[in-house]
Amino acid sequence: MNDIVSLNLEDQIGLLETKKISSYELTTLYLENIKENKDLNCFISVNEDALEQAKVIDNLKDRQSPVQGIPIAHKDIFCVKGHRTTCGSKMLENFISPYSSTVFEKLENSKTIMLGKTNMDEFAMGSSNETSFFGKVKNPINPLKSPGGSSGGSAAAVKANLCAFATGTDTGGSIRQPASFCGITGIKPTYGRVSRWGMIAFASSLDQAGIFARSALDSAIALEIISGFDEKDSTSINSKVPNLKEETTSEMEHSIGVPMQIIEKIEDVNVKNNFLESIKILEKNGFKTKQIELPFLEYSLPSYYVIAPAECSANLSRYDGIKFGYRCDNPKDLEDLYVRTRSEGFGEEVKKRILIGTYCLSAGYFDAYYIKAQKIRAMITESFKNAFKDVSVIAMPTCSNGAFELGSIQDPVKMYEQDIYTIPANLAGLPAISIPSGYTEEMPLGLQFIGNHLEEGKILNISHQFQKLTDHHV
């Protein structure tokens, strides 16, 4: 019966629908797996009420959603009423949310079961899952390796069969890079496709919720549920959500854009060869490819690392020890309260980004850095618009390397460079997906597809077709 937890989502849904297994039994299997694999440190907290919720769902007369009774995990950045939401930080170590995020509510209304909250880089700032106050997450394939960040706990949990699928967030690659490192599928939808209400903010103009799953088809099923307009989120797009499962499995022709000026500069030979081999597989099976130009992409990394810290500096100013969250002991006065609370409550990476952001927003440097970065962002967005006039999707590697050893990257700039191929989609607000495409030194590599605005169906479709041609995701 333990093999059931490794089945894809559609198969698990089929077993529940035909009552060959109950939600209680399935939840029990996952909880046992979580306990047996606690050394991976995927979860910050486990839901003690999960089995009781499963019992209630098993007693329902009719199925109310495709994913009814499916046990899932949530990145610990999504607020859940009555549960701890820590964001991987000492600052929110004991914070009990008084309300739930829209993402959680949509999945709860679909009768999924929350197994727990997954570990993450503190306030989603990191590319290795090493900045969490609750300790490092280990890659299930090789525990010495990083699972990626910031949503490493969710990615590792899906890979280790600790949940059927999991939520994550992606600000500069925090879904796609962990998906690549763990050898699973991870999708970041169009900015505004999924509500950010109740999702603790890092960089508000970049943050987007998404899904980790075993395949593109599984991702489509889950993503459709959490998508849609939310009046509580001012950045939410009021656009009809298509049938993503239907679009994923439909017959679609694609013209795939390949930015060779980027591919030629890849230093890791294994990454370059794997990408080119993936493109050959698609070409051999009738897909058209076209070389495209994406000017200004080389400036995406410096642009991002001005904009994101600037927004982080503003968003994290609310953590002052007054209303909620961590408060230092015995402050001498109000200034001492502020200074010590923030010094003690935030980790080093978070403090570093707050300082960078504050500097970039200061009177003497706002025009020189922040405004210039926003102009570059606009140019990158325009370059994508022009590219999509000729192609339906754009293909790139997800990362410049496979999973690295935990603790092996000490240079912060080298760590930031982990996001070099993922950041452009965030700056342009475009949907992007990472799927397994092969291996380097026995660790997975990811193939990334970027789609035009609100065209999640196209990148899910090409991913599904690639996964039918290969077995990397199995």
Q: Give the catalytic positions in this structure.
A: 75, 150, 174
In terms of Cα–Cα distance, which of 431, 380, 391, 382 is closest to 292?
391
Phi, psi dihedrals of residue 294, rounded to the nearest 5°: -125, 80
Q: 280-301 burial, b for 16+ CB within 10 Å, e for fewer?
A: eebeeeebebeebebebbebbb
* CA separation for the pair 193, 225 (Å, rounded): 11
Give me 204's structure tokens: 């508000």
**Pairing assessment for the beta strands 185-188 and 113-118 based on DSSP bridges:** unpaired
Give me 318's structure tokens: 């609310």
Q: 91-111 burial, b for 16+ CB within 10 Å, e for fewer?
A: bbbebebeebbbbbbbbeebb
Residue 340 near residue 328, CB atoms below 8 Å? yes
Distances (CA, A) of 172 to 136, 205, 309, 432: 20, 11, 12, 11
* CA separation for the pair 191, 186 (Å, rounded): 15
